[in-house]
Structure 1
């Protein structure tokens, strides 16, 4: 495995930029995993995670490196002798070699494209015992072995995620193993499953990967799309959440990075499923609200969304904007392009008081100006003012005060009298 691939990989890795010199590492250290794979594919980020294998005590080495070069040493797995050095924005994972040789260590890994190593000693060639270089060339994801997948069942889902992330085809034999053993995934800690799903949802072809995960049975214990009458609708929505929808809706790269993963996850998982996956409460709420409004607005064909929205009472329209103020682009991804772009334009305007509802007056000023005590009446008045401002019938604080006084005077329940504070 000598020659051009090795030289090209060194050039792309730019070891002179690493946060510590190569001379600080043991002579038998080897770079493995994602950095090697992504370097060969020319898709390295500015500070890639570096996974290193050493023959000695990786935890002791990590602590020694932290003392000499700075950074923090974190023990990841004491039993397997794995630690992480976090230094100047970089992350270096060090692990003790498993087996009698580097080849033996690589033979225990999940997929062949992750089972390529670059020894860091000068002049060393790539080590590729399972044909990962050829599979990279073929853009094919191949499991090292069935037993290796079962050694950590999360690897079943990781295969689907890697295929979507890299744009690779999943090897038929590997896919068959995933289908055969999909029931093993619930053995994995829910937090680890969720982390893989979030990476999958963020991949450019994540919509296809998630659909494949459903088809292989991997998501059965959690996904609303795995069974039931809503399954076909959820999967149909998921199919629309590809990169082309980002372009059609007019989202920027930053907006898409936030909206697309949420839109995809919410297509498959309700709040209860995300709770079983031990997600944050915030993610459960965001996905739950998004699913609820999708069901409310998108029951018919996508082209009918505009008519459904037009029929909403003003209070419900305001509630939509309040609940999805931060996540509106995730809702727009499945809408017709013209409507999505129009709404996105208004959402980007921070002064649009329908898309970014803000009270025209705070409660204290209303109490002082109108002689109101804290009460349900005050809360109702503030809600009505919010609605009037959102739909352009009140502009500015003084107009809001005039409207508030008029509303209080005209309330039949008040008998024409404004309630006073004690």
Structure 2
């Protein structure tokens, strides 16, 4: 966390926020504009991303301001909430949410926010004042997560889940009172928009401290309408994966364990994400800890369907098998872990009298299987086996 107080704290925060690098000139903002929420929190913790999402509060009509800024700066304006006057400015890869101040003073607005560490604001126009009416700075210093009030959590039930997402991203201890409020009102989470719930979950499972958050999450009824009841990977399961492999595999495995296929559909996950989770779940259930016992055709299907996500499946394997599978998966030339035919469909069409259609599809699948298990390797061997395959099919008719 930023150290010091008063001017020293503001100077350190200004250095980390680097507003001169934003695509939105501060001079274009009306007097009374303040930066609130995550960017202030992360600036104080020195964990800002290169292009942090910015949340601004302005004293007047935020939608009209955002529309004018979008036109002037060649950005895009998206109205998020017309009734509460909240809009989003998308410009140069940055996202800037602009909201009309809730209340007569900025302090009134901050008292209506979710958690105390998110209820800190710094004035942008003019620069130079820090507001912390609820005690957020103290929470940051002590590593606590404390809700501003019980009513604030229920005003937007997504905030119930957001608290656990925050402890997944930041090493925090949630106060017992706040945990009690989340548990008391957990059944209200479905009142939030499903897309917002999924977005929070996807951030939660990617968090550096997600294991702590997931332990809290599974002890609460928050996800009951969509729960899968699976076992998320443990820290020991991740052993053997590189940092890059774990970054892709672990969130997928966590989400698959937490949310059912029907739950993902209800939360309006993309078709691609639903398919990835469904396939991973299917093969987790099928192979147990003995994948080598599968028939060849099933092994090929496994690697075709999970080629990109195989490390997520390897998480559940004992270490000897996991090492072997990861080593083979890292080899882009491994014919089973990256299935392909030594000769493609066009090559077969040119060399053989076979028409496009189901027969060609069966032939390509057969060649891929033979190649995967080392019985053919070269295009010439594939062409020879293709002739044998077509002859056998013709004789069987």
Shorter-normalised TM-score: what interval?
Answer: over 0.9
Counterparts in 2 of 1:161 and 1:407: CA distance versus 1, 3 Å: same
- For 2:48, what is the secondary structure of its paired residue? coil
Q: Who is 2:258 aligned against?
A: 268
- Give per-residue Cα distances to partners, 1:379-402, cap 9 Å, x unaligned: 433222111101111112111111
Q: State the Cα deviation string for residues 173-193 of structure 1 (Å, max 9, x = none).
A: 000001111111111121111
Question: Using a 3 Å threshold, how does the CA distance of structure 1 residues 370 and 88 change in structure 2: closer, same or farther?
Answer: closer
Q: Distance in 1 between matches of 2:370 and 2:62?
A: 64
Give the corresponding residue for 2:162: 158
Tell me whether 1:111 sits opposite 2:95 in the alignment.
no
Matches within 5 A, 1:137-156: 137-156=141-160
SS at match of 1:354: coil
Deviation of residue 122 (structure 1)? 4.8
In structure 2, the residue matched to 1:340 is 322
Note the C-alpha offset of 1:20. 2.8
> Unpaired segments of 5 or more residues in structure 2?
none
Contact 2:114-2:148 within 8 A present in 1 as well:
yes
Q: Give the superposition deviation at 1:413.
A: 6.7
Match of 2:34 in 1: 30
Contact 1:269–1:287 under 8 Å retained in 2: no
Residues 1:221 and 2:225 aligned together = yes
1:398 aligns with 2:370: no
| CA distance in structure 2 between the partners assigned to 1:66 and 1:403 by the alignment | 62
1:193-342 alignment runs, 5 A limit: 193-225=197-229, 234=230, 237-240=231-234, 242=235, 245-246=237-238, 248-253=239-244, 255-298=245-288, 305=289, 308-342=290-324
- The match for 1:47 among 47, 51, 58 is 51
**Structure 1 portions without partners, runs of 5+:** 226-233, 299-304
Deviation of residue 207 (structure 1)? 3.3
The count of aligned residue pairs is 393
| Whole-angstrom distance in 2 between the partners of 1:123 and 1:377 | 71
Q: Alpha-carbon deviation of 1:4? A: 3.0
* 1:371 aligned partner: 353
**Match of 1:201, SS?**
helix
Q: Aligned partners of 2:346 and 2:22: how far apart in 1?
A: 56
Aligned 8 A contact 1:270 1:284 in 2: no
Moved more, 179-188 or 141-150: 179-188
Distance 2:266 2:73 in 1: 41
Partner of 2:363: 381
Are 1:414 and 2:395 matched, yes or no? Answer: yes
Mean Cα deviation higher: 338-347 or 3-12: 338-347
Q: Measured at CA, do residues 398 and 24 of structure 1 come closer, stay the same or move farther in structure 2, by a change above 3 Å?
A: same
Structure 1 residues 123 and 199 mapped into 2: Cα distance closer, same or farther (>3 Å)?
A: closer
The whole-number CA distance in structure 1 between the counterparts of 2:122 and 2:260 is 43
CA distance, structure 2, for counterparts of residue 86 and residue 181 of structure 1 = 34
SS in 1 for 2:57: strand
Contact 1:110–1:155 (CA<8 Å) still a contact in 2?
Answer: yes
Q: 1:77 to 1:412 in 2, by over 3 A?
A: closer
Residue pair 1:272, 1:284 contacting (<8 A) in 2 also: no
Contact kept, 8 Å, 2:113 with 2:152, in 1: the verdict is: yes
Which has the larger displacement, 362-371 or 180-189? Answer: 362-371
- Report which stretch shifted further, 118-127 or 366-375: 366-375
Deviations 1:359-408 (A, max 9, x none): 22334543553433456554433222111101111112111111222344
